[in-house]
Structure 1
């Protein structure tokens, strides 16, 4: 192990937890917030077209974006969790092999999404919840987004590999470069070149391509694992490790896409304004939760390194630090959302019906936002220490196990209010599950520490 790798190991295992977690989390939070800007920017500029159908189309295609992100996080977290533990054991060559395998898997799966999506474009747009008026916009937007699927998946792997080896700031640079470009390209392509929703999609895939190239360059910087095709060996062992480490992320992000489809189905009977409103709320809440997830992503390499080094007290300390800190942050965000909900929704779409539906939904979700600190931090810790089954179940709970039945059943009793209640109810139930799981795991850590 060279001097730079040795210095990184010492930093990850000896720096005080609050200082280490915050230094790791800051670039992750920025990266996640910037990533959420892609969809928020498209929603904002498409909303200026003064069409509920166009705004609704962005919400419909958000499901595809979630699926692409799910595959990217699946390969990125699956390989990254393994990389983090192996670097904690100071096994750099093995970590490099896994990094290359995760990268190639993402490119291949992205190509599958591209091919299948274009072959079944129209039925896919209908399945995702498009109404007759939304369908033309959704197809135009989705057709272009699918073209970028391979490099969008691979970008997420590169970003996560940098993060898991303690170089999150390099990933932040790549993600931020693409987001800034996206914000500049959106008005140019949508309005100046009169491309409408197609321009928003083209701006997204161009900016994502720039991010990919910058991230690929950053992986060659000193002290980072280099992606070498010579290290690609897609053996059953590596594939199994990617699946074990990435399955919770695939469940969490993939069900996020499926839950959006179900949300569109639930809101559909109440018109395009209802679909547009819930789409706007989904993006606003994604922005708030992206900061939380970014903080959790800063926690993961700390837990991975220290778990691999058998420093179990540091794992436990880092978990509780993140839970308490994120709880305070979410309470502050929830207060802002409760008081300024109409203003927030109006920024993206000033239609009175959209604002009315969106305001109620946003306020209800703000009431339970703080409980996500237990859900997200628990999920992050369980995933990085290779507790695949509980991590996957917890990842599935918030957007799948509890949300999907709620959003499909509640409207039969409470109409549109049932659609708006589905997420906050799901959040509370998921938090209960997280508390039970983490109580057991923390006791296990105490036993492992005592046995040393």
Structure 2
């Protein structure tokens, strides 16, 4: 009997600490970490497999991936807008309103992704030429093929992202993890079969990506219809345009989309700068960029969870709890980064060696990886922390700061360092670190006044 009393007391104390118990946080964050890990590993597997075809294939895929990341970021921003609105309604205990927001989120992301896919189909090679200029013919041919297949997958990716955001808003990130596991398993198995078994070249990476995203979209649409969900989309009527709800979602989605879009446009501009430095620089930069996504993994996963936690706290009128949870999550981010970045810096030669690059490209990739591992001490406060501000409907501010910092510091200084000071491709990342420092200072200052600025839907 005494044991049961102690257990009950411990559970009560755990809940009394805030809206979310330790178990609640683990249930939310653990699947998100696994999901992000899967995404990173599959991205690495894609590059490793296509590397077997040659450096021109690696370079072609890298060029298109920079565009695809832009599309993904814009669609994710819309999903973030929906997640913030749904989370706040859950915190307010208004599930009917949350369901209304869910239907409008699906409508917005589906329409936007179809439009983007149409532009990609129509533009294709001309669009690639416009963005990246003159590159080797073999690189452009591979890029065109890869772009065509990935463009077809954008609408399916949008449906998956929207469904995943809705389940995260409910605190059920395990669903998106399981669907992601199946999606990535299909992708990797398809890559192995098409590249090594059927010798399909760059198509062998593109087609499995399309098939896996189609599968994920179908499964997610089926799951989000479940009447047992507190947030669900089970009627076509929910997707009839509702201006008031669309406005609330876009109040977060548009600033976040512009922020992410401008951020990725900036990276594409820098990719164009890299493309003028030769194939070895393109390949080395592509591999290093692919590897460092592993370092972003904890922050991206924890940031997604913060949207849910802060959104529900704000909806419930508990902004101080939102700040407290944010500090804990950032601390966990730093602990995970210490382990990951140390390992990658120490074993960088072996990690880069997996990609079978030329000696020149390999050395460059190792230098980039070491520099990035050291610079990641700045990242959590510059990129994970702003999720708290967005969930408190302060997305316009994060957008203005991010766009300014991106174009002035990362791009402006990037060109100065590479073209003016001849620092090679390393200069791009040194400029990036200056960008991170500026963001960190401004966002920490803004976070201190979070309680006074927070807004509800």
The answer to whether TM tops 0.5 is yes
Q: Aligned-residue CA RMSD in angstroms? A: 2.4
Alignment-derived partner of residue 80 in structure 1: 83
Alignment-derived partner of residue 406 in structure 1: 413
Alignment-derived partner of residue 70 in structure 2: 67
| Structure 1 position 436, deviation (Å) | 3.2
Q: Note if contact 1:32-1:290 (Cα within 8 Å) is conserved in structure 2.
A: yes
| Structure 1 position 71, deviation (Å) | 2.8
Q: Is 293-302 or 246-255 further displaced after alignment?
A: 246-255
Among 291, 304, 307, the alignment partner of 2:314 is 307
In the aligned structure 2, how far is the partner of 1:377 from the partner of 1:264? 24
Among 354, 376, 379, the alignment partner of 2:383 is 376
In the aligned structure 2, how far is the partner of 1:229 from the partner of 1:401? 45
Alignment-derived partner of residue 125 in structure 2: 122
- Structure 1 residue 244 and structure 2 residue 248: aligned? no
In the aligned structure 1, how far is the partner of 2:417 from the partner of 2:104? 43
Alignment-derived partner of residue 357 in structure 1: 364
Alignment-derived partner of residue 232 in structure 2: 226
1:4-403 pair list within 5 angstroms: 14-16=18-20, 18-49=22-53, 51-129=54-132, 131-132=135-136, 133-221=138-226, 222-227=228-233, 228-396=235-403, 400-403=407-410
Q: Is 62-71 or 73-82 further displaced after alignment?
A: 62-71
In the aligned structure 2, how far is the partner of 1:12 from the partner of 1:62? 46
Q: Is 235-244 or 78-87 further displaced after alignment?
A: 235-244
Alignment-derived partner of residue 10 in structure 2: none
In the aligned structure 2, how far is the partner of 1:425 from the partner of 1:92? 45
Q: Note if contact 1:75-1:106 (Cα within 8 Å) is conserved in structure 2.
A: yes
For this pair of structures, how many residues does the alignment match?
438
Long gaps (5+) in structure 2: 1-13
| Structure 1 position 127, deviation (Å) | 3.0
In the aligned structure 2, how far is the partner of 1:16 from the partner of 1:34? 26
CA spacing shift, 1:179–1:27, aligned 2, 3 Å: same
CA spacing shift, 1:245–1:11, aligned 2, 3 Å: farther
| Structure 1 position 333, deviation (Å) | 1.8
Q: Deviations over 1:324-371 (max 9, x none)?
A: 111122122221222222222221233211101111111111111121
Q: Is 136-145 or 424-433 further displaced after alignment?
A: 424-433
| Structure 1 position 211, deviation (Å) | 1.4
Q: Deviations over 1:166-193 (max 9, x none)?
A: 1111111111110111110001112322
CA spacing shift, 1:396–1:154, aligned 2, 3 Å: farther
Q: Note if contact 1:319-1:377 (Cα within 8 Å) is conserved in structure 2.
A: no
SS at match of 1:270: coil
Q: Is 79-88 or 428-437 further displaced after alignment?
A: 428-437
Q: Deviations over 1:191-214 (max 9, x none)?
A: 322221012110111111111122
SS at match of 1:215: helix
CA spacing shift, 1:19–1:394, aligned 2, 3 Å: farther
TM-score with structure 2 setting the length: 0.89
In the aligned structure 2, how far is the partner of 1:376 from the partner of 1:150? 27
In the aligned structure 1, how far is the partner of 2:159 from the partner of 2:150? 15
Q: Note if contact 1:263-1:419 (Cα within 8 Å) is conserved in structure 2.
A: no
In the aligned structure 1, how far is the partner of 2:400 from the partner of 2:25? 26
CA spacing shift, 1:110–1:436, aligned 2, 3 Å: closer
Q: Note if contact 1:65-1:257 (Cα within 8 Å) is conserved in structure 2.
A: no
In the aligned structure 1, how far is the partner of 2:168 from the partner of 2:213? 18
| Structure 1 position 12, deviation (Å) | 12
In the aligned structure 2, how far is the partner of 1:397 from the partner of 1:329? 29
| Structure 1 position 25, deviation (Å) | 1.3
In the aligned structure 1, how far is the partner of 2:244 from the partner of 2:49? 46
